[in-house]
Every structure is written in structure tokens, then in C-alpha cells.
Chain A
């Protein structure tokens, strides 16, 4: 292929094979043992540590870092997995700068937090490299629980239920389990097939059956699931995408960013993924950044991310924004799309400057055009096909406490439920806590307490 970043239109193979390998390899290579020990030495073992409080799954971070420090990374991994069975993925994708590392007292002291995320990866990688799953199941209870959605919430829920001796059937509409871990995260954050390897490792607890290609509302009905199982957990995520509601959305080469990201993740050969010379990404969240950065990494000459509000309001963290800028993505804030221009294929996007006032966001009248031959929409996902009978809270499934829905015997967690915040780690926490509640409910509080 002789295409370059300057080749007009939407084409594949803009870069050399070496460039693709470099661009889509591990963006943050793992710490080796020496680096881990140096990093671990910086932890102060704080009392009632702020990093723990900042972690949605409340991993005992000072303890696991001390375990690394004392030469026991496998014990450290166990400390992590006790709280968060997807600690390996979270180590890679968590916005640590806004969670644990943002709370680290060394951030206050020197502006350089302990590398908690990378240390967590070191510990979890050590455990996962061993040929043994670190958890065992309790004696079988004879209960069977349906988990709909094999994303982080569903997997965390399933693992915890299996640990307590229940049998679990995990169902997912896609071809592979993993949910957004498999389909929704930039390739360079989790290369090497890690998402599937993690699912396989998690399933080694036993007692979990995975059925793929089955969707709620099509192959599955909630009423039947309730009838056939002792409990149901819904971790169905947000399968729908918000529409732009701007003229010209139907032009060629206007796509949903989530599809682009999923296609990239599934593509074994990145050279075959076509990308525009001039790419515009509309939105300001993690999805927008993942799409914009990866468009650049595929060889697009110009990538512009446009967000309608101020930079501070962007869903993408400051760290993510910086990452995007460092890869050559231009970020424009305070501009909303008016129409997508083109004649068949897209040629550009017209934006209007916005102002935030008492009436909310208004466009001031002045507008500009960003030329584009490819446009990605990343303005949020929404719950699709929520099963009837479930109370909703706004656009999400209403839950109380640890994921209890309005239907008896049905729990929900992760992005589909109210309280979810688009983070893997939050989904894990909700799945885990729902599992504990399901277990307590099924076994009777007294039995659980006696265990």
C-alpha cells in the first residue's frame, strides 16, 4: 500500500507496519521488578489512606504496595482481587489521576503520586501469570443465577456469586464476553488480547457458564429468566448511542465512535482499518478521546475533537486530554455542531460557538467549518431496550442499595443502572456488591452471617 497521512479521503494503510505496531502496542509498558520496588518504596502507608477512599472498589492500596515492597507481589495481587476481580483491567484503564493517584498524599507533597495503577498491574500480572486461579468456591448451594451482560459488572457479579457456591449463567449479545473491556476501550490501553485472557482467568473459578450471542428482548425475556433462575442480575450497559440531531448525519463516513473503537479492537490487522485524512470527533468524553487518538495513530493527518462546553466540563480527564494533545489531536471547546456538510460523502462540519448562561447552552451565532472526510460521533450512550416492568430513573434502571431493582429477584449494576458513572471500576463494585446482596437474600441473612 502506498497511502500516506496525506492521501485524500478515507483509506487504509496510511502508515508502515512498524508504525502500526508501535502505535497500537502497550502505551504504558509494565513496570519491571526493579521499577516496581522503586515505585513501591515511595508509599507512606498512610493511616485510613485517602487512596482507598478514592477507589470505588476500596482496594487496600497501602497494604498491597507494602506486600510488593516486601517481595510478595502475589500476596499483593490477592489483596487487590479480594476487592476487585477485574483489578488487572482496572490497573490499565482506570483514570487513576482522578481516583487513587489523585488522592495520594504524595500528589499533595510533590505533585508526583505513587504509581498505584502501574503497581496494581505489576501485582495482578504476577498472579495472573501463574497457572492457578487464586480463589476457590464455597460448597455448592444449588442456586442458579442469571447474569445478563458479560461486561465488568456482570463478570464481577458472576465471579463473586460463584465464589459463594452458586451456579451462574452469564449471557451476552456480542460474540465475545468482556463488554466494554473487549469492545469499548482503546487498543493501546489493553493490547495483547488482555480482555479475553482476563475473562478466561476469571472463569477458572468454575461454576460459571457463558452464553454469547443472546440478547435481552430478543433471544431472552426477563420474565423467563426470573422463572428459570433464583435471581437475575442485569449488567446490560448502554447499548444505544445518542443521536447528534444535526443536519447531514446520514452522509457517508459519519460514524458512531463506539463502533470505530470496537472495530479497531477486533481488527487483527490495523492496516486494514480505513481512516480519513481529516477527522472530526464530536464529543468530550473518554470515548471521544479514544476515537480521536486512535484516528491519529492510524495515520490521519488532522484530527480535531470538538466539545460544546468548556474544557473543565469535559468527561475526559485532564490526563486523557493531555494524552490526546500529545498525540497531535487538536481540541476545540465551546462549539456545537450545526450541520454536517457534504454531498454524499462528508466534507466538513459546521460548528457554532456556544455560551453557557442561565438558559443553559446557547449558540451565539458565529460559526466556523472544520473540513473533514470522516466524522465520529461520541456524544454519549443510552440505555436501549430496557425490559418492561422495571422502574427507570431518568434514562437508567432505578436501583436502591446494592443494585436492587423494582422487581423482586432482579438486581442491576454498571452503566445501565442509576449510579453508574461509565467507569470499569464502578461497574465492578456494583456487580460485586449486588452479588453479595443476592447471596445474602438467597441464603438468608442469618446463614450468611454464620459463614
Chain B
């Protein structure tokens, strides 16, 4: 069986699955249950300075569902821990003492003043925690007070605070990034410049999940009003994957350890984050939806997959897909594929036809007895039919071999790689190497 043990910036854990800083890691009771269930580590819910903050006393979460009410996205307006600092510190110490093999990272958020950080860091260090994560991501509530994403949106602040932390503690410093920014590379570069050991991302996305059409208030609604919250869960995974990849392939931040966060629900999601450069993953919504036991599927799935592929360590997986993430302009324009419909597995729902006929390229024909076939002369291989087909594997995109005629253009498939940078339609095209 593959060894899932990880060493992330010197923090060891038996597997790469950590619980993210969030409601599931707010208390000793929860964290002990998590460790008993098999989680490799936790990032304790964000601590602040006393007096502790208060939360709303109405709903804290809103949701988006898919078919059969499967939770696809969760939004929260909960703030950082609402318990006294000393209670949290005491509990962190007790849990770490009892679970020395698990990663114990403590999330922190205090005002942007050096003294505030100087005050809290030794207190955390005293618990025996393995590291700290700077919460520069929370998009709601705390940001109005100049913390959370208010810091994360200003690279200079990130760099400054990261530097303070590195000066005032021996613990590894992970900077948690907000996605509520135009280009994720800037805060990542700032974190690195400040000396941070790693970044973790993404924090939640600013969001309103729904509107109550009776009361005309956003959900979750507190006494008739709603406030934007932070969106997470499977729905944000694509956003997170891209941001992780952006940092992993940026020349300035390449090699900076990344803890991947954002909609990790299964072993496969975790493997994808790893492949795009993460050294481990953090999970919250999946645990909040299904309970701590989900980690068992993640551990066994990842392990099984690694065995199948012959990977012996998580580090071996980490970053393997990064070289294949590129800019659009470098995509091979001579690569030609066509949709293929497997008639044996087709259930004749016609969704591919509707999608193609109404919204795409009229490249699927429909016979009176509901046989759906691809018209190669029209098919641009857009993949929409694959995406809307309810039967996995029924429609596939098959590349044409070099030399084969693309019936759409009437031209043979060129075996050579050629991209937009050299395309004659590109006004800024550079001439092929002379």
C-alpha cells in the first residue's frame, strides 16, 4: 500500500488530509473525533485576541444544491472562534499532547499591528502546535474590521505580516490566501517575499447563495437582512484548482509549498490538487456534509490509485500535472478531435442533440428512431455533448491521427505542433524560427 505520510514544511502527518480551519476544528471535542476518524491533521479554527468576537444568533449557512439535494456549495457568515483565547489554547495543547503524530496547525487573525502578532505567537507556540496559518482570507465580517481578506487583498500587508510572524516565531508560517482578488499570483509572491513557508488556498469566495423571494432577503437571512458570506464546497473546486496551478507554475513562486483547499470531497479531488502542485489538502465542506468518516474513503481511494499508478509517496504525485498547465496561446492548433457516440451505451435521451443543435454547431444528427450520430463535417470537438450526456463514457472525444482528413476543413491533420503564436491570423504572430 502506498505510503500517504507527508511532510509539509516540516509538519508531519500520517496522510495528506487535513481539516481546514473552520467550524469542524473549533473545539477539542470535534478535533478529537476527527483524529479518531483518521484525519491526518487539523488547522484549528482561527484564533483572535480577547475579547473574543461574537457570532450572529440566526442562520450562519446558506447552500446550493444539485439533483437529489446533493450539497454543491455552502456559504457561511460565521466569524473566527467565538470562544476565549485561553480556552482554545488549553484545548490545543491537550489534543496535541494526546495525538503527537497528527499535524496541529493553528489559524490566526489579529489586527495588522506588529504588537498584536508578537503577543499571540508565543502563546500558540507554547501549546506545542506544529505551525500557524495566517487567515488572510475570510471575506465576511472580519474584513470589515481590517482583517481577513482586507489584508489578503493587499500584497504589501501580506508581506509585512508574514515577515513579522517569521521574526517572532520558530513555527512554520502558512499564509492562507483569499480568492477574492484579480490575480492570485500577487498575494502568493508577497507571502513568499515575506518569508512565508507555504501558502494555502483558497479561502471562501464572496457570495450570496440565494434570495428568499417571500421576504426579499438574501439567504442566510438574519432578521430580514442578509450579508455576503464565503462560498465553498464542490462548486468552488475549479476556481481553486486554477489558482493553485497559477501559483505552482509562476516562475516567482515555483516550488513554494501549497496546501490545496476548495471543494475537496473525494480522493480524486485530492489527487487533482496534488497533481497541480499542492503538497497536501485541506477539507471542510465534505466533512460538514457527511461527517468525519469521509476521510476513510479519501485515504483508501488515494492509496489504491497511487498503488495502481505505481506512486509510492504523496510527494511523487505532487506537481505532476503542472508542466501540462499552459497558456491558451501555446495549445496545439493542429490537434484535431471528433466526438464519437457509443451506440451500445447510448440511452437515446437526445440531450447531445439538443445541446449541439440549439447552442452549438449542428454536428449531431437524429434519426426518426432516435439514433444520434456525429456529423464530422460540422463537429469542432467542443465537448459540449460529452458534458451534457448523462451516461459516462458514452460520448468521447477521439483525436484524429496525423494525416487523417478532417472532414470539417477537408485538410489532413498536420503532424506538427503549431500554436497561435505562429498562426497567420494572429496579427502579432512571430515568424517561425528562421
- List residues of chain A with CB under 8 Å of any chain B CB: 37-38, 41-42, 44-50, 105-106, 108-109
Contacts and interface: CB of A to CB of B under 8 A. Distances in A.
Contacts of B350: 46-49
B347 A45 contact: no
B67 A46 contact: no
Contact of B347 (A37, A42, A108): A108
Given A109-B390, A109-B391, A47 B351 contact: yes
A105 B350 CA distance: 10
Q: Which 3 A-B pairs have the closest CB atoms?
A: A47-B350, A47-B354, A41-B67
27 contacts: A37-B69, A38-B68, A41-B67, A41-B68, A42-B67, A44-B351, A44-B390, A45-B351, A46-B348, A46-B349, A46-B350, A46-B351, A47-B349, A47-B354, A47-B366, A48-B350, A50-B348, A50-B370, A105-B347, A105-B348, A105-B349, A106-B347, A108-B347, A108-B348, A109-B347, A109-B390, A109-B391
A47 B353 contact: yes
Interface of B: 67-69, 347-351, 353-354, 366, 370, 390-391
Nearest to B356: A47
B349 A44 contact: yes
Q: Which of B348, B366, B391 has the most CB of A within 10 A?
A: B348
A45 B370 CA distance: 15
Contacts of A49: 350
Contacts of A44: 349, 351, 390
B368 to A, nearest CB: 10
Contacts of A37: 69
A44 B353 CA distance: 13
Contacts of B366: 47-48
Nearest to A106: B347
A44 B354 CA distance: 12
Contacts of B68: 38, 41
Nearest to B370: A50
A301 B122 CA distance: 85
Contacts of A106: 347
A108 B67 CA distance: 20
Contacts of B354: 47
Contacts of A41: 67-69
A59 to B, nearest CB: 18
A45 B260 CA distance: 36
Given A41-B68, A44-B390, A46-B349, 8 more contacts: A41-B67, A41-B69, A42-B67, A45-B351, A48-B366, A50-B370, A105-B349, A109-B347
A48 B349 CA distance: 8
A376 B432 CA distance: 90
A108 to B, nearest CB: 4
Nearest to A39: B68
Contacts of A105: 347-349
Contacts of A38: 68
Nearest to B65: A41
Contacts of A109: 347, 390-391
Contacts of B67: 41-42
A309 to B, nearest CB: 29
A46 B388 CA distance: 11
B212 to A, nearest CB: 13
Nearest to B391: A109
A84 B321 CA distance: 56
Contacts of A48: 350, 366
A37 B350 CA distance: 23
B366 to A, nearest CB: 8
Nearest to B394: A109
Contacts of B370: 50
Contacts of B390: 44, 109
A155 to B, nearest CB: 34
B376 to A, nearest CB: 21
Contacts of A42: 67
A260 to B, nearest CB: 42
B348 to A, nearest CB: 6
Contacts of B351: 44-47
A114 to B, nearest CB: 11
Contacts of B348: 46, 50, 105, 108
A45 B354 CA distance: 10
Nearest to A107: B347
B293 to A, nearest CB: 23
Contacts of B349: 44, 46-47, 105
A102 to B, nearest CB: 13
Nearest to A41: B67
A46 B68 CA distance: 18
Contacts of B347: 105-106, 108-109
A47 B347 CA distance: 12
A37 B354 CA distance: 24
A418 B333 CA distance: 63
Nearest to A46: B349
A48 B367 CA distance: 12
Nearest to B372: A47
Contacts of A108: 347-348
A38 B68 CA distance: 5
B193 to A, nearest CB: 49
A242 B347 CA distance: 43
A411 B321 CA distance: 72
A47 B366 CA distance: 10
Q: Which of A42, A48, A106 has the most CB of B within 10 A?
A: A48
A200 B4 CA distance: 70
Contacts of B391: 109
Nearest to A110: B347
Contacts of A50: 348, 370
B359 to A, nearest CB: 12
A109 B350 CA distance: 13
Nearest to A108: B347
Nearest to A48: B350
A47 B348 CA distance: 9
Q: Which of A42, A48, A105 has the most CB of B within 10 A?
A: A105
A54 to B, nearest CB: 12
A49 B349 CA distance: 7
A386 B219 CA distance: 66
Q: Which of A37, A44, A45 has the most CB of B within 10 A?
A: A44
Q: Which of A37, A46, A48, A50 has the most CB of B within 10 A?
A: A46
A171 B350 CA distance: 45
A446 B243 CA distance: 64
Nearest to A109: B347
A212 B190 CA distance: 88
Contacts of B353: 47
B263 to A, nearest CB: 21
A47 B370 CA distance: 10
A42 B68 CA distance: 8
B373 to A, nearest CB: 14
Contacts of A47: 349-351, 353-354, 366
Contacts of A46: 348-351
A96 to B, nearest CB: 18
